[in-house]
Amino acid sequence: MTKFAEQELLSYCYEDGTGINLSKKEVGDEDIIEIISFLEKNPSIKIVDLSINKISAMGAILFARLNTTATIVSFAYNRDIGAVGATGFSELNETATYVEFSGCQVGDAGIKNFAKFNKVATTVDFSDNQIGNNGIKAFTKHNKIVTTALFNRNHIGDEGAEHFAKDNKKVTTIEMSLNEITNLGMKNFAELNKVATSVAIKANRFDAEGLIDFARFNTTATTVSFCFNSIDNAGAIGFAEHNKIVTEANFIGNQINNEGIQALSSNVFLKKINAHCNPCNEEGYAALNENDPIKRTNYGRELHITKEVPSLARLSLFAVKEKLIKENNGQTRTFTVEDLHGLGDNVDIINQSRF
């Protein structure tokens, strides 16, 4: 295809007029000017999907130079874009804030240069680009703009995860799924990370030990996704014992049964838990949906999760929160056995702690 008729381009637009799907339409570099002209005539189109076509580095660079309307652009799986295309795009782009280069053979050099020259894009997807430890280290060192970064399906190991956590000053949402991060990388990431609040490390090479260390050392990440790892009951129980920061967790596709699910439920720092596709039954799934703080605490007691764990202390406070607000106008005071609705053995812990 060397030329698109305007009517044909209109047929590819979203019904609401906000985007155009040109994926798998054999778009080449020679079609970019025609597409840009169409976008200029239809400025409501902000989303442009150019994935899985025949665009090279020249086409990506030309798009960046001419585009003045599209803010979300995907070049996914145009494999001839490479490092040159990603670099040139970042140098010339003044409009697109979300850019996808998945599967474009960008490599370590490409993401380094993209970070160095990027002035506009705040969300980038560099999944499936053969990026290793050196690449993510260089990206992190030079990045001043990107706040959401996807590095799934690459070759990032413990060293890369550690350096990202240590050097990152900007990225608040990071995905490093389907990489090579082990228990050591999980521990070091959690200990060094001071910026990223949303972290996805699915299908890597860590197990219960890595998960527990993440919970023990994490001070920043509140939303995590650890799907499809080798996490078992020991990992879930350890996470429940040590977690004081994470409020939303995804454990889909691990090896956690009813006992582990109940342990996770006992930690009310966790407001949302997704643990489907684990070897548990209705009893375990019922624990996931339990809202009664007393029942949630009892799960932990039955599993001998120690009452000194801060999560259980906070759970006790959670149980009397409405009473405190309604009867004492939100003013702090000393708690009593009666306040804690049957959780009286936590009174001393509550009164010695700041919440």
Tens-digit pLDDT profile for residues 211-234: 999 999 999 999 999 999 999 999
- What sign does the dihedral 341-317-307-279 (CA atoms) show? positive
Q: Coil, strand, or helix at residue 125? A: strand
Top pLDDT among 235 and 326 is at: 235
Q: What is the pLDDT of residue 313?
A: 47
Confidence (pLDDT) at 1: 45
Residue with tokens 């389907």: 178
User: How far apart (Å, rounded) are the C-alpha atoms in residues 263 and 298?
Assistant: 10
- Is the confidence at residue 310, as pLDDT, over 70? no
Q: What's the CA gap between 50 and 175, in Å, rounded?
A: 22
| pLDDT at 141 exceeding the cut of 90 | yes
The predicted structure's pLDDT at residue 336: 65
Flag whether pLDDT at 329 surpasses 70: no
Per-residue pLDDT tens over the stretch 223-277: 999 999 999 999 999 999 999 999 999 999 999 999 999 999 998 789 999 999 9
**What is the average per-residue pLDDT within 29-48?**
97
pLDDT of 132 over the 50 cut: yes
**Which is more confidently placed, 194 or 327?**
194
State the pLDDT at residue 292: 80
DSSP structure string for 298-335: HHHHHTT--TTSHHHHHHHHHHHHHHHHHHHTT-----
- Listed residue (287, 270, 278) closest to 223, CA to CA: 270
Measure the CA–CA gap between 344 and 293, rounded to whole angstroms: 14
The tens digit of pLDDT for each residue in 181-211 reads: 999 999 999 999 999 999 999 999 999 999 9
Banded pLDDT at 302 (limits 50, 70, 90): confident
Higher-scoring residue by pLDDT: 271, 81: 81
pLDDT at residue 352, rounded to an integer: 55
Q: Are 16 and 46 in contact (CB under 8 A)?
A: no
State both tokens at 310. 């801060």
Domain residue ranges of the chain, discontinuous segments joined by +: 307-355
Q: What share of the chain is helix, strand, coil (3-state, %, to 5)?
A: 45, 10, 45
Strands 173-175 and 223-225: unpaired
- For residues 87 and 110, is the Cβ–Cβ distance under 8 A? yes
Average pLDDT, the chain: 89
| pLDDT score for 346 | 57
CA–CA gap between residue 4 and residue 134 (Å, rounded): 41
Q: How far apart are CA 148 and CA 166, in angstroms?
A: 17
Give the confidence band of 29 by pLDDT, cuts at 50, 70, 90. very high
Q: Count other Cβ atoms within 10 Å, centred on residue 299.
A: 21
pTM above 0.95, yes or no: no
Q: Which amino acid is at 134?
A: N
| More confident site: 147 or 295 | 147
Q: What percent of the chain is predicted at pLDDT more than 70?
A: 85
* Closest to 205 (Cα-Cα) out of 237, 225, 230: 230
Cα–Cα dist 1/211, whole Å: 50
Q: What are the φ/ψ torsions at residue 99 (nearest 5 degrees)? A: -130, 130
Q: CB of 263 within 8 A of CB of 252?
A: no
